[in-house]
Chain A
């Protein structure tokens, strides 16, 4: 009887189609108009009409399904509903507004709210680095346990005060090689950051390995240069961009740990649910982290190699950068967030 009632009690398909064809046409026309980002004032009134028509069409689809109307009709309504749904719920907001708000407020607020991951990542990275620096200063030969001779010779050449030209601007080095290095730093360092983040998907293990590896490598270079006495060339060079670059690696690690912890300790959610929630939060760290890598690359390419500035000035700038970066994460966005 159910079928008899369903189709016999109401309207048949031809009547149904005739009644609502005009509305479906309007929706289809609307969809065909394409995707404009934000509606203007004249369109806003019609947006309400669109939402109303869409809901009506949802009802039509449900009716058509329960009345067992034909496949073609249901298919057509299903298509209208899918596309209207995407139009209605997929509306975009102003991107630039979001970006400004993110820099001034959301980024430092997120970093603070993820302090557990951030501190874990910072501890792993910086402790590994300092341990290696310490070990090399005590026993300089330790450097050979983590780096091979070729790598070391290259570093030595780069920072040897006797080869000033290889570091700073000499006669042969023009501004164009700054641009080359900028491209290199952006792609290399940001790539390392992205990989540190993504490898967190393997229960955080990939992130741990990447953080330790980079900490050890950087520590070995720093320890070895200090041991050789290339203080001004090495520390003068790295001072400016260190705050941005090292902390960007730490934050990539923190974002990676968000992914890992979602799988290791999902709490009262399924692992999949947890992963989806946490990866959204992790991305809120990664936007800013990518920005930090790019800023760091600019400093490293256009400021750090400048030789007309005395090393003392570079140390001061480096310290100021550290104060600014740490201060930004501790105090940034506090007033607005309240």
Chain B
């Protein structure tokens, strides 16, 4: 039902390879192949959100210790129970949450992150215990020194415990976000676009409201054959974004 000019196709194709590999280099997506031969795209989480999540968990843990100390302050039995409880929390707080609450400690939940296995399956006792017992090694020499170095050097932002356990910390999209797109009708792109190109156009349309008019014009102008001969390149691109997102309503 669609026919394309050969030259447009050629343009799109060379463009594909370039943008595709460029985006793959920039993006922190980890590709995992399932037994069904499908590639899953998992967005791995970097150092800063992980450190902040850790901080939240550390605060929660301290809160629990204070509460326990208040409850168990009576006598030696209380102190014994306190020691037991702190031992369990110190070593197994992340394990319990990761295994029983879908890979999320409260801190990770706050940043919509989760621990999963390298193959995309939920982390289980063995993997979670490995990564959390080896936290000791990550913590050395001071304040997660080795862990931070490992995260910075690793493509998938893994600390030592993640390397040994074969686990990833990824962002979990809780729901697909739908941004408001600028008004206007849908425009069919002149030729089929790769996923990366579609993503770029939709991202542009979603962000165009937050950009100055001049900057939008400038960016839209960069898309070459897509806006060739258009009077309003921004409107044209936003129209295409709408078309790509399923709207077929042409301009009135």
Instruction: Check B87 against A190 for contact (C-beta < 8 Å).
Output: yes
Residue of A nearest to B166 (CB): A276
Would you give the 0/1 interface string for B1-28, flagging 1 where the beta carbon is closer than 8 Å to chain A? 1111000010010000000000000000
Residues of B within 8 A of A174 (CB): 76
Interface residues of A (CB under 8 A from B): 1-4, 6-8, 12-14, 35, 54-55, 58-59, 61-62, 65, 68, 70-76, 78-79, 81-82, 85-86, 89-90, 92, 95, 174, 176-177, 179-184, 186-187, 190-191, 194-195, 197-199, 201-202, 206, 259, 272, 275-276, 279-280, 282-283, 286
Across the interface, do A187 and B245 meet the contact criterion of CB distance under 8 Å? no
Bound Cα distance from A211 to B16, whole angstroms: 57
Smallest CB-CB separation from B131: which chain A residue?
A279
Partner of B129, one of A7, A71, A195, A286: A286
The answer to the question of B86 belonging to the interface, with a C-beta cut-off of 8 Å to chain A, is yes
**7 more A-B residue pairs beyond the given contacts A58-B38, A180-B79, with a C-beta to C-beta distance below 8 A:** A7-B192, A65-B195, A71-B198, A82-B40, A180-B77, A187-B86, A191-B87
Instruction: Among B12, B83, B90, B116, point to the contact of A184 (Cβ < 8 A).
Output: B83
- CB-based contact B38/A183 at 8 Å: no
A70 pairs with B84, CB closer than 8 A: no
The reply to whether A70 and B246 form a contact with Cβ atoms under 8 Å apart is yes
With the chains together, A290 CA to B126 CA distance in Å?
Answer: 14
User: Could you tell me which residues of chain B, from 219 to 246, have a CB within 8 Å of some CB in chain A?
Assistant: 244-246
Contacts across chains A and B counted by CB atoms under 8 Å: 160
Using A181-B80, A198-B137 as known contacts, say yes or no to A68 and B194 having CB atoms under 8 A apart.
yes
Say whether, besides A3-B9, A71-B195, A71-B199, A8 and B84 are in contact (CB < 8 Å): no
Tell me, rounded to whole Å, the shortest Cβ–Cβ distance linking A179 to chain B. 4
Q: Pick from A58, A198, A201, A275: contact of B34, CB below 8 A.
A: A58
Residues from chain B with a CB closer than 8 A to the CB of A286 are 129, 133
- The answer for the CA separation of A117 and B36 in the assembled complex, in Å, is 39
A72 touches B83 (CB 8 A): no
Interface size on B, as a range, is 35 or more
B40 touches A283 (CB 8 A): no
A106 to B246, CA, bound (A): 56
Q: Do A71 and B165 have beta carbons less than 8 Å apart?
A: no
Tell me, in angstroms, the Cα distance from A1 to B160 when the chains sit together. 48
Considering the chains assembled together, what is the distance between the CA atoms of A12 and B9 in angstroms?
19
Most chain A beta-carbon neighbours within 10 Å: one of B9, B34, B38: B38
Task: Say yes or no: is B106 at the interface (Cβ < 8 Å to chain A).
Answer: no
Select one of B87, B137, B245 contacting A183, CB under 8 A: B87
**Which B85-124 residues have C-beta < 8 A from chain A?**
86-87, 90-91, 102, 116, 119-122, 124
B83–A180 touching, CB < 8 Å = yes
CB–CB B76/A179 < 8 A = yes
CA distance A55 to B248 in the complex (A): 30
Residues of A within 8 A of B153 (CB): none
Enumerate 20 A-B pairs (CB-CB under 8 Å) in ascending A order.
Answer: A1-B9, A4-B9, A7-B1, A35-B102, A61-B38, A68-B193, A70-B244, A70-B245, A70-B246, A71-B244, A81-B34, A90-B122, A174-B76, A180-B79, A184-B80, A184-B83, A202-B137, A275-B164, A276-B166, A283-B129
Can you name the residue of chain B whose Cβ is closest to the Cβ of A263?
B164
> Contact: A8 with B133, CB < 8 Å?
no
Q: Which residues of the partner chain A approach B246 to less than 8 Å between Cβ atoms?
A: 13, 70, 72-73
A36 smallest CB distance to B (angstroms): 13
Give the contacts of B47-102 with A (CB-CB under 8 A): 75-77, 79-84, 86-87, 90-91, 102
| B176 in the interface (beta carbon within 8 A) | yes
* Bound: A212/B97 CA distance, A: 35
B194 CB to closest chain A CB (Å) equals: 6
B198 engages A176 (CB within 8 Å): no
The answer to whether B2 touches A4, judged by C-beta atoms less than 8 angstroms apart, is yes
Complex interface: chain B residues within 8 A of A8 (CB): 1-3
| Chain B residue at minimal CB-CB distance from A196 | B136
Can you list the 5 inter-chain pairs with the closest CB atoms, starting with the nearest? Answer: A183-B83, A187-B87, A183-B80, A179-B80, A198-B136
Q: Is B148 an interface residue (CB 8 A)?
A: no
A12 cross-chain contacts in B, Cβ below 8 A: 1
Decide: A78 and B163 in contact? CB cutoff 8 A: no
Q: How far is the CB of A122 from chain B (nearest CB, A)?
A: 21
A78 to B164, CA, bound (A): 28
Q: Is the CB of B34 within 8 A of A194?
A: no
Q: Considering the complex, which residues of chain B in the window 132-191 have a beta carbon less than 8 Å from any beta carbon of chain A?
A: 133-137, 160, 163-166, 173, 176, 191
The reply to whether A70 and B198 form a contact with Cβ atoms under 8 Å apart is yes
Chain B neighbourhood of A78, CB < 8 A: 40-41
